[in-house]
Structure 1
């Protein structure tokens, strides 16, 4: 496979003729580039008017290869043929070097070009590219590629430094200025010829420097430090996308983000970026900043927003996830509304990055995220909400890669490992490595937030002095729910009705779910809403075998409107002897949303039981909507042993909760 390497444009802030005088100091040998042992001129000629010089050199190189490799291939040195064409009239120099040694096994072509800066005639540009084709090299193809790339990178790194060094030598010799070639001044031309030893005419078929070249100082200022290989890959992706798009090319910072997301594999980055550009066009994302109108419910109840910057100058976004009513937001703006909100935040972030880079002396390429988990409990594991969150994460990962510089997680509660285990598998490994976690109150201690956020910018709700305008979040009133905002769609795994069951209970009746467990340390979770009346909820365990569910299910529902007795009571079993209560009875009131979990330490049958004791004066049946799930032990490796059940007043569904608050436990 042919490998291609393209370097960014280097700018020497000296006239072309002075740069040529400095460049000549590299020959016949150069101590600063020890790999070049000697360059011998085999052909050298000037045109009659002294405007062009054609030079051919045979260069001996001592390549930095392992001793054993040199012995295996039987050579200590390799030879390259370098052909230079200097044109003082057009003020250009073209250089082409090809390998003479092992030419039938390895093809190396390096091209360099010096020319006058298109916007400043007193500056000189230098660009460099190379192709490597290892056809057959004794089974050492991969090794040869690595050695060649290492050598190429070293040469690039030395190039500009050498010109600066040789320019000082030229000045020390008393040469302060050289006039450009003049057809009417032969004496001056001869002097220029004496001092300068190169020039080139633009070969046929070679294009002038185009808009896809990059200046090295521009890269350092706006893109940050890049290795020669990374610079080459950036230029290659830029050209490919330009050919593909036939129009507007994304910014270099955007190209660089997609390259980093694919470890600078140009082919993979191009595929990822192409898909993202199609997605942006299809959903008109470029118009989002100017056209998006923030819904009122988001303004009042979404606990997230931008908050100054971190110590690295990165824009800082705060999300008080523990205070977010996921269910309420989805029922108010729907999943599409939540996605659009997220995309708007990401687009704002890109704009803030541009502003931060402009205000700084260096490139600011990513923002930081501070996530406060205070208040997080099992209600955040409401399955439709989790799946909506996963869809958001996948969309952001695919279209805004490498925009997250650091994620600070504070006040992480006991329930957090469950949410993290579910979500983390959908987050890119490189992004996961940027997460820092702080449980308890140690986030303001040494090694905590103060290492990353200026002390005067720590938000007030975390004990800092800075007033935060990020909303506290809280319960979304039912009066703001929008009919149809979050409804079942055919084949949609986020459908509420596809995972939640509804049950009606008369006076004294029970509804039970039997969960057989053969996996010690697995976690049983539940989420239910009381739609009418008070309902008592209890979890039991028995070592005895109960009726097993069908093979394609994980639980068996018993009781209900036609049967008042529990399955335990039907068998005549006594509590404490035949079965045990593993979670205390919880009386759940009309309108409450309850979430909880239990680590099933032992095998046996676990019973989730809901019981209705009383009815209202209208004798209407109690109503319940519930969901349960068993989480396998191997996913958590014991991290769930401290989980506790939780209740919440969030997302209440009864008519009583239509006001701005509802009872909570």
Structure 2
């Protein structure tokens, strides 16, 4: 496979004639062809190898020309191809290695030109007169002047036609432009960017996305031009089909979103990225979906993404350095198993899939705040649908860890003045204007307070539900849950066999009536239950049936591994337990009698509850979430490197 290199335009801020003096093109050395067109101020160099040409073929083309917008500057661009035809089966690897070395060498080219320019200045040479067309010096009285001028005009027109100067857009992609608006790229990354742009121009003409967009798609495909082009082409078709380019101007959020969707833009992080805050734990997922539908919720998410692109462009201009990503802060206080309503999960996964495909590499960091003990379930469900590059940008906090003053808290990523007030940020009076003036369009950068103007969410009234969005049955709502009733003194047990130490047992239940005492137990006496002779590690069906009906007693045949909790009428309880040892674990609910209650056991005094439980494999848990029992912040692998 032939390796290609295409440089961006490099600008020497010196006149063309002076640069030509340094280049020295009056002679041809080795196998190289130099063509200097003084009339159009263009030097073209083409070089190729003759030695070992049967094994290796190298072709390099370079071009110097006058900057189209500043005649006192000189531009330089080059392309190269390398084809190793025979290298003992290692052709592809050697091509990549050689091209990498080539790119490192040409990076020194500009330094060399600048060095010799400075040398000439020390010798007193600061100006070289530009070449003047001798035809212009012909005596105006010459009788052949008219014919000579006509001939000269024809030559000029022919030269201009043969020489295509870069357009203004081509000139934008210079090395200086890349560093200012796109960030630091190595030589090969610059080359891939130029190649992708040319490739998209061939497909779409002048309607080429911004360079920052091209770069994001390249990064998403590890700078493979072919893969990035395929991904970008599909995305451009998707945008055209769904009129996404008109979303910012035409989208109007439904009133229920304005009143109950707890998300919005809020200032920026320490890297200058726009910051979006989502209070997911306060969001009524079911209510929003039944009020606006899945498609409208997707439209809301896409509008946020489009706003993010616009704000990143403006931030790049405001801060004077490239801002190509935005950050997301998700507050999970209040999250419970009801957020895992199946239609809600389905909608979330659809949004993730579409955003990953069409807005790659736009997420700079995701801060997960106040993660409850049921969060590992949600993370396990959605993490496999998130690209690994994005997963590595997640930073997790549980409890109040985000309030840490030193390393590890929100202050590592967000200036203390801009931490949201509901997370302990300063009051309106305590904020200082330390970042100077910002254009009014940056409404998210309100410099006067950390007070958020994000609605608190809450339950969407059922009178706002749309009948055309109601499902024909309620199977999606409660198919995960079991309902039970407990008479006075009665207990209910759920027995879980664990043969995967480190797995996580997760539960969620709602007390619908009366009070119950909830406990988590671990069976410690293996000899009380006969083992399956075929496999001593796996309980037989009869063993599990016996375990389900057995009256488990703490301190007799099991031990308590979680503190017992008295759960009152109307409460919702969630929790997790890491099963450190193999064996049987028991979830136990007991009817809890209130003091002074002497009424006979009648149906109205039965305790009623609805519960759900799930076991998460240890391999999923260890890779996705910290031990929530330890109340220590968990961080992804890349979070530290991304924090600065």
- TM-score band by shorter chain is 0.7 to 0.9
Residue matched to 2:133? 182
Q: State how far apart, in whole Å, the 2-side matches of 1:291 and 1:251 are.
A: 21
Q: State how far apart, in whole Å, the 2-side matches of 1:332 and 1:184 are.
A: 79
Q: Say whether residues 1:603 and 2:583 are aligned partners.
A: yes
Q: Say whether residues 1:340 and 2:340 are aligned partners.
A: no
Following superposition of structure 1 onto structure 2, how do residues 435-454 of structure 1 map, counting pairs within 5 Å? Answer: 435-439=394-398, 440-441=400-401, 443-447=403-407, 448-454=409-415
Secondary structure of the corresponding residue to residue 161 of structure 1: helix
- Kindly provide the CA deviation profile for residues 238-274 of structure 1, in whole angstroms up to 9, marking residues without a partner as x: 1222223345111110000010111111112112212
The two structures have a TM-score, normalised by structure 2, of 0.74
Residue matched to 2:641? none
Secondary structure of the corresponding residue to residue 311 of structure 1: coil
Q: Say whether residues 1:234 and 2:185 are aligned partners.
A: no
Secondary structure of the corresponding residue to residue 636 of structure 1: helix
Q: Say whether residues 1:20 and 2:3 are aligned partners.
A: no
Q: 1:7 offset after TM fit, Å?
A: 0.4
Following superposition of structure 1 onto structure 2, how do residues 512-527 of structure 1 map, counting pairs within 5 Å? Answer: 515=496, 517-527=498-508
Q: 1:232 offset after TM fit, Å?
A: 0.8
Following superposition of structure 1 onto structure 2, how do residues 5-404 of structure 1 map, counting pairs within 5 Å? Answer: 5-24=5-24, 55-58=27-30, 81-142=31-92, 144-171=94-121, 172-174=123-125, 176-184=127-135, 208-209=165-166, 211-212=169-170, 214-246=173-205, 248-404=207-363
Q: 1:108 offset after TM fit, Å?
A: 0.7
Q: Is the CA contact (8 Å cut-off) linking 1:7 and 1:232 kept in structure 2? A: yes
Q: 1:106 offset after TM fit, Å?
A: 1.0
Q: State how far apart, in whole Å, the 1-side matches of 2:463 and 2:388 are.
A: 38
Q: 1:278 offset after TM fit, Å?
A: 2.3
Residue matched to 1:463? 424
The two structures have a TM-score, normalised by structure 1, of 0.72
Higher helix share: 2
Q: State how far apart, in whole Å, the 2-side matches of 1:446 and 1:570 are.
A: 52
- Counterparts in 2 of 1:533 and 1:643: CA distance versus 1, 3 Å: farther
Q: State how far apart, in whole Å, the 1-side matches of 2:177 and 2:202 are.
A: 23
Alignment gaps of 5+ in structure 2: 139-157, 427-448, 533-538, 594-598, 632-644
Residue matched to 2:142? none
Alignment gaps of 5+ in structure 1: 28-43, 45-54, 59-80, 188-200, 549-553, 557-565, 645-665
Residue matched to 2:441? none
Q: State how far apart, in whole Å, the 2-side matches of 1:461 and 1:641 are.
A: 22
Q: Is the CA contact (8 Å cut-off) linking 1:515 and 1:606 kept in structure 2? A: yes
- Counterparts in 2 of 1:10 and 1:438: CA distance versus 1, 3 Å: same
- Counterparts in 2 of 1:608 and 1:488: CA distance versus 1, 3 Å: farther
Q: State how far apart, in whole Å, the 1-side matches of 2:464 and 2:229 are.
A: 42
Following superposition of structure 1 onto structure 2, how do residues 455-534 of structure 1 map, counting pairs within 5 Å? Answer: 455-465=416-426, 466-471=449-454, 473-479=456-462, 481-483=464-466, 488=471, 496=476, 499-500=479-480, 515=496, 517-527=498-508
Residue matched to 1:642? 629
- Counterparts in 2 of 1:283 and 1:514: CA distance versus 1, 3 Å: farther
Residue matched to 1:631? 616
Q: State how far apart, in whole Å, the 2-side matches of 1:394 and 1:377 are.
A: 24
Q: Is the CA contact (8 Å cut-off) linking 1:528 and 1:625 kept in structure 2? A: yes
Residue matched to 1:649? none
Residue matched to 2:385? 426
Q: State how far apart, in whole Å, the 2-side matches of 1:603 and 1:528 are.
A: 23
Q: 1:309 offset after TM fit, Å?
A: 1.8
- Kindly provide the CA deviation profile for residues 438-476 of structure 1, in whole angstroms up to 9, marking residues without a partner as x: 443453412233333233223222222233224353421
> Which segment drifts farther, 247-256 or 465-474?
465-474
- Counterparts in 2 of 1:245 and 1:537: CA distance versus 1, 3 Å: farther
Q: 1:96 offset after TM fit, Å?
A: 0.3
CA RMSD, Structure 1 to Structure 2 (Å):
4.4
> Which segment drifts farther, 444-453 or 235-244?
444-453
Secondary structure of the corresponding residue to residue 452 of structure 2: coil
Q: 1:383 offset after TM fit, Å?
A: 4.7
Q: State how far apart, in whole Å, the 2-side matches of 1:572 and 1:165 are.
A: 88
Q: State how far apart, in whole Å, the 1-side matches of 2:86 and 2:199 are.
A: 28
Q: 1:370 offset after TM fit, Å?
A: 2.5
Q: 1:362 offset after TM fit, Å?
A: 1.9
- Kindly provide the CA deviation profile for residues 162-198 of structure 1, in whole angstroms up to 9, marking residues without a partner as x: 33333334443445241333123679xxxxxxxxxxx
- Counterparts in 2 of 1:411 and 1:580: CA distance versus 1, 3 Å: closer
Q: Is the CA contact (8 Å cut-off) linking 2:484 and 2:609 kept in structure 1? A: yes
- Counterparts in 2 of 1:437 and 1:619: CA distance versus 1, 3 Å: closer
> Which segment drifts farther, 304-313 or 256-265?
304-313
Q: Is the CA contact (8 Å cut-off) linking 2:325 and 2:362 kept in structure 1? A: yes
Q: State how far apart, in whole Å, the 1-side matches of 2:613 and 2:604 are.
A: 28
Residue matched to 1:31? none
